[in-house]
Amino acid sequence: MVCDDSAVIRAAIARVLESDPEIRVVARAANGREALEEARRTAIDVVVLDIEMPVLDGLATLPLLLREHPALKVVMASTLTKRGADVTLRALSLGAADFVAKPSAAAALGEDSFRRELLLKVKALAAPRRTGRTATPACRPPSSRSPRLLAVGSSTGGPHALFTLARGLGARLAVPVVVTQHMPPSFTSILAAHIARAGALPCTEAEDGAPLRPGHITVAPGGWHLIVERGPAGLRVRLSDDPPVNFCRPSADPMLESAAEACDGRVLVAILTGMGQDGLAGTRRIVDAGGTAVAQDEATSVVWGMPGAVARAGLCHAVLPLQEIAPKLLHLLTDLPT
């Protein structure tokens, strides 16, 4: 279902979706009230939901949709503004599966970048998922060396997972934390603020040359790869505008690969829900260098792409439900010998 108060935008998004033979638009709505009515009489897998609408806006509609249809996947259509980013992050915390950055002009909805992003996300979210614990290859033992860094990669469904992780990590951590979440530039500073509010650890968007401090979460800025370097005073950030990796900038792989080198492999990796396989190459580099990896399981992932890739490759010490990841990380951070 496509829900947008503009008939032109509704038609343009529907055309993009139906350009793929595997997708069928079964309903359209001009506001949240109409969307609720359509969802009651039509079988729907995914909703593309606008945020700003009359009668009932997207933020008010979202929890009502999910209350009546818990299995529904909702993609928020967001403008690339600071307010749009803040509202979108609130929607993700309320249960939206993902978002797409809606161009300001209707004509731009047909551009390749928007078309590719929308189709990939809708198809990934509509794919059948198993609900039980997923059978994975035998897990590796943890590294025998204590980590110097906790590195986290996530994408689709990642903000909610990151909020849960931040709450579970508590208020004291002996190592720095770096996070790459696939998001555009105007969103990552807002994401960092939401992560800080969700948990007890400080969290900020990365700045070039900034030190990585124990007990502090640093988020890769949209449009830049976060590179971990070892400087005279310890670990620090370098921001890189090198080309996208796995179609992403920021990408988890450059962060993880650089962390493996800067920390001599003493890195603990957590790969959370996300589409694609970004993080696979970097996790392999860390594990080969003596680090340890943990992945989110399929049952609690919005999309089991990124964590599934590292799990199937046999790189993980553990594949766990989201709520069990923070306790496992804390155990690995505190119980390994130095």
In a structure prediction context, what are the per-residue pLDDT tens digits for the chain, which is 338 residues long? 999 999 999 999 999 999 999 999 999 999 999 999 999 999 999 999 999 999 999 999 999 999 999 999 999 998 777 788 899 999 998 999 999 988 766 666 767 888 999 999 999 999 876 555 545 566 888 888 899 999 999 999 999 999 999 999 999 999 999 999 999 998 999 999 999 999 999 999 999 999 999 999 999 999 999 999 998 999 999 999 999 999 999 999 999 999 999 999 999 999 999 999 999 999 999 999 999 999 999 999 999 999 999 999 999 999 999 999 999 999 999 875 54
- 194 is an active site residue: no
Residue 141 lies in a domain: no
- 155 is an active site residue: yes
Residue 135 lies in a domain: no
How confident is the model at residue 338, as a pLDDT? 44
Instruction: Give the CATH number for residue 263.
Output: 3.40.50.180
Instruction: Tell me: do 194 and 256 sit in the same domain.
Output: yes
Instruction: Give the CATH number for residue 120.
Output: 3.40.50.2300
How confident is the model at residue 65, as a pLDDT? 97
Nearest-angstrom CA–CA distance, 214 and 92 = 28
How confident is the model at residue 24, as a pLDDT? 96
Instruction: Tell me: do 191 and 241 sit in the same domain.
Output: yes
Residue 142 lies in a domain: no
Could you say which of 5, 253, 278, 297 is catalytic? 278
Q: Is the peptide bond before 327 cis (omega within 30 degrees of 0)?
A: no
Instruction: Tell me: do 181 and 89 sit in the same domain.
Output: no
Instruction: Tell me: do 188 and 324 sit in the same domain.
Output: yes
Q: Look at strands 225-231 and 234-240 and give their pairing.
A: antiparallel
How confident is the model at residue 51, as a pLDDT? 92
Residue 168: how many other CB atoms lie within 10 Å: 17
How confident is the model at residue 257, as a pLDDT? 98
How confident is the model at residue 274, as a pLDDT? 96
CB 16 within 8 A of CB 110: yes
Angle at 69 between CA 66 and CA 73, to 5 degrees: 65
Instruction: Tell me: do 115 and 160 sit in the same domain.
Output: no
Number of structural domains found in the chain: 2
In 3-state terms, what secondary structure has residue 331?
helix
Instruction: Tell me: do 73 and 7 sit in the same domain.
Output: yes
CB 149 within 8 A of CB 267: yes
Structure tokens at 32: 């949240």
Q: Global pTM?
A: 0.91
Residue 214 lies in a domain: yes
In terms of Cβ atoms closer than 10 Å to its own Cβ (0-12, 13-18, 19+), residue 22 is: exposed
Instruction: Tell me: do 230 and 307 sit in the same domain.
Output: yes
Structure tokens at 220: 């890769």
Nearest to 10 by CA among 27, 28, 36, 32: 28
Could you say which of 98, 154, 182, 225 is catalytic? 182
Instruction: Tell me: do 98 and 177 sit in the same domain.
Output: no
Instruction: Tell me: do 192 and 327 sit in the same domain.
Output: yes
Q: Number of helices and strands (H, E) in the chain?
A: 11, 14
Instruction: Tell me: do 321 and 174 sit in the same domain.
Output: yes
Could you say which of 155, 186, 251, 301 is catalytic? 155
How confident is the model at residue 110, as a pLDDT? 67
- 278 is an active site residue: yes
How confident is the model at residue 140, as a pLDDT? 87
Residue 314 lies in a domain: yes
Q: What residue numbers bound the domain in which 41 lies?
A: 2-126
Residue 144 lies in a domain: no
Instruction: Tell me: do 197 and 329 sit in the same domain.
Output: yes
Instruction: Tell me: do 45 and 175 sit in the same domain.
Output: no
Q: Which residue, of 126, 141, 173, is where some domain finishes? A: 126
Question: What are the residues facing 211 on neighbouring strands?
Answer: 236
In terms of Cβ atoms closer than 10 Å to its own Cβ (0-12, 13-18, 19+), residue 8 is: exposed
